[in-house]
Amino acid sequence: MAPLKVGIAGLGTVGAEVVRLIEEQGRLLSARSGRGIRVVAVTARSKVKKRGVNLRGIEWAKSPLALATDPNVDCFVELMGGSGDPAFSAIEAALKAGKSVVTANKALIARHGIRLAKAAEKHGGTLNFEAAVAGGIPIIKTLREGLAGTTVNRVYGILNGTCNYILSRMEQEGLTFAECLKDAQRLGYAEANPSFDVDGHDTAQKLAILASLAFGTKVSQSAIYVEGISSIKPEDLRAAEELGYRVKLLGVAVRTAKGIEQRVHPTMVPKSSSIAQVMGVTNAVTIDGEGIPPITLVGPGAGGAATAASVIADIADIARGVHTTPFGRPVEKLRETKKAPMERHEGGYYIRLMARDVAGTAAKIATHLAKEKISLESIVQRHPDGIDPTGAGKSSPMPIILITYATHEDAVRRALAAVQHDKIINGKPQVIRIEKN
C-alpha cells in the first residue's frame, strides 16, 4: 500500500516530537500498521524557529486551513491547541474533505466534539483524540473499544498533573497551597495564570469527554459541577492522613438512578485505593464496570514524549484502516445530559469546623446534624493551645473534624448553614466529599 501521508499543524513540543518519532520509528510503524507513514507537510506560526528535528523534504503549508485541504495529505494532525480557530476551522475542513484527523486538543473536543463527530460520520473520515485526555494513558481507546461490551457505572480520576503535584507537595512537606503553586510555576508545571488548572476547569473538559465515551451522552462541559483546590489547607491533609485518607482533585462521572452525575472537586479517597497512590504530576483513571473489578490506568498526563506517543498510536490506527465512531457510537445515538444538582449528591463527607470554645458548642452542632438525619462515622476534637488574638484571655477556636456516613449534600448544607447562623463557629466550614472504592 502507498504510505499514509500526514500533515501536521503545530510544531511545539508535541508536534516536533511526533515528527521525530515518525522519522526514527518508521520501520516499526510500517511493520505494525501494514503500510508506511510519512510526514509530507507541516505548518506553524514560525518557520525559522529551531525545533531540533529534520524538516528537509517536508512541504511548508501557508496556513492550517491550506494544510487541512491539501489533496496530498491523507491524515491531518492538529497540535495547535485552542477551542476556536484556526484549529476548529482546519479540522472541520479536513473532515469535510473526507480526510482523517488526529488531535490532542481537549478544549476543542469538549466544545465542538459532537459537531466534528457528525462531520466525520457524514464524510467518511476518522476523528481520533487519544492524546486529548490524560496524555500517555490509553483511556479513550479503553472506553471506546476495550470495554465496548461492558456497562460502565463510574469513571473517575486524577486528570490534572498540576493539581496533583500541588496536593502531593502540600501533604508531604506541610506547605501551603500558595507556596506549592509558586514552586509549580517555577518548575513549569503550572502556568503564569494557573486558574484554569487549579479551579478545576481543565479537569472538567477532560471529564466531559470521558463521560460521553463511558455513558453514551453528548459532550457537555456545562453539565459538570466544578470546584477547585485553592481552599485546601495543610491541616486538612494532616487530618486526612490520620483518618486513613488522601486528598485528590478528582473528576467523577457516575451512573445514578436520577441520571449521570458529573463533578470535579477535591475528594478524600481511602489510602488503600489505587488512585491514592498516584503522586506528583502523574495522572490516573479508574473505571468501574458491570462484572469486572475496577480497572485503574496510571501514567503521564502531559509532556512531549507521552502525548506524542498517543498521537502516533492514533495515526497508526488510521494507517492500518481502523475506523471507529469518535464517541463509540453514532452521534444520533448519544443522549442529551443535564447538570445534576450537587444537592442530590449522596456520599460521605469530611467537615472541619473552627468551633468557639464556649459551653454547649458541640451539643448545638450535634443537634443540627441530627435534625438533618446526618450520622457520624467519627468525630475528632482537638484542644486549643493558643490564646484568642483579641487578648481577652480566652482559648483559640477549637478544630472539630467530622466524618459522616453516606448522606445527601443538601442535608449537609442545611445543617452547616444552621451552625453558622448560631454563630458558634469562626469562618466558613471546610467540606470535602469522600469517594469510596
Express each pLDDT in 68-101 by its tens digit: 999 999 999 999 999 999 999 999 999 999 999 9
CA atoms within 13 A on the CB side of 305: 2
Q: Is the CB of residue 419 less than 8 Å from the CB of residue 353?
A: yes
What's residue 338's pLDDT? 83
* pLDDT of the residue at 395: 62
Confidence of residue 394 (pLDDT cuts 50, 70, 90): low
Judge contact between 313 and 319, C-beta under 8 A: no
Q: In the structure grid, which three cell numbers stand for residue 101, read together?
A: 484527523
The mean pLDDT value for 333-345 works out to 89
Nearest CA-CA partner of 29 in 320, 393, 418: 320
Q: Of the ranges 159-168, 181-190, 412-421, which one carries the lowest mean pLDDT score?
A: 181-190
For residue 1, what pLDDT band results from cuts at 50, 70 and 90? confident
Q: Does domain 139-299 have CATH number 3.30.300.30?
A: no
Report the distance separating Cα 353 and Cα 430, nearest Å.
Answer: 7
Task: Give the HSE-up count for residue 382: Cα atoms under 13 Å, Cβ half-sphere.
Answer: 17
* CA separation for the pair 272, 243 (Å, rounded): 12
Provide mean pLDDT across the span 2-26.
95
What confidence score (pLDDT) does residue 390 get?
45
3-state helix/strand/coil string of 42-104? EECCCCCCCCCCCCCCCEECCCHHHHHCCCCCCEEEECCCCCCCCHHHHHHHHHHCCCEEEEC
Residue 383's pLDDT band (cuts 50, 70, 90): low
pLDDT at 107 exceeding the cut of 90: yes
Q: Which of 206, 338, 364, 436 is catalytic?
A: 206
Matching CATH number, 4-132, of 3.30.70.1060, 3.40.50.720, 2.60.40.10, 1.20.120.1810: 3.40.50.720
Highest-confidence segment of 47-61, 94-108, 339-353, 422-436: 94-108
pLDDT of 387 reads: 44
pLDDT tens track for 129-183: 999 999 889 999 999 999 999 999 999 999 999 999 999 999 999 999 999 999 9
Q: With beta carbons less than 8 A apart as the criterion, state whether 42 and 6 touch.
A: no
Q: For residue 90, what pLDDT is reported?
A: 98
Provide CB contacts within 8 A for 134, sequence distance 6+: 157, 159, 206, 283, 285, 297, 299, 301
- In the CATH hierarchy, which fold is given to the domain comprising 343-434? Alpha-Beta Plaits (3.30.70)
* Farthest CA pair distance, the chain: 86
Residue 201: the pLDDT is 96
Q: Which residue has the cell 451522552?
A: 217
Task: Give the pLDDT score at 414.
Answer: 96
Active site residue 248: no
The dihedral through the CA atoms of 251, 331, 256, 225 has a sign that is: positive
- 14-50 residues labelled b (16+ CB within 10 A) or e (exposed): bbbbbbbbbeeeeeebbeebeebbbbbbbbbeeeeee
DSSP H/E element including 35: none
The per-residue pLDDT for 81 is 92
User: DSSP 3-state helix, strand, coil percentages of the chain (rounded to 5)?
Assistant: 40, 25, 35
Residue that wins the pLDDT comparison between 95 and 384: 95
> Beta strands 59-60 and 37-43: pairing type?
parallel
pLDDT of 341 > 50? The answer is: yes
Domain residue ranges in the chain:
4-132, 139-299, 343-434
pLDDT attached to residue 386? 45
Q: Is 382's pLDDT higher than 90? A: no
pLDDT over 70, % of the chain: 97
CA-CA-CA-CA torsion for 23, 28, 34, 39, nearest 10 degrees?
-10
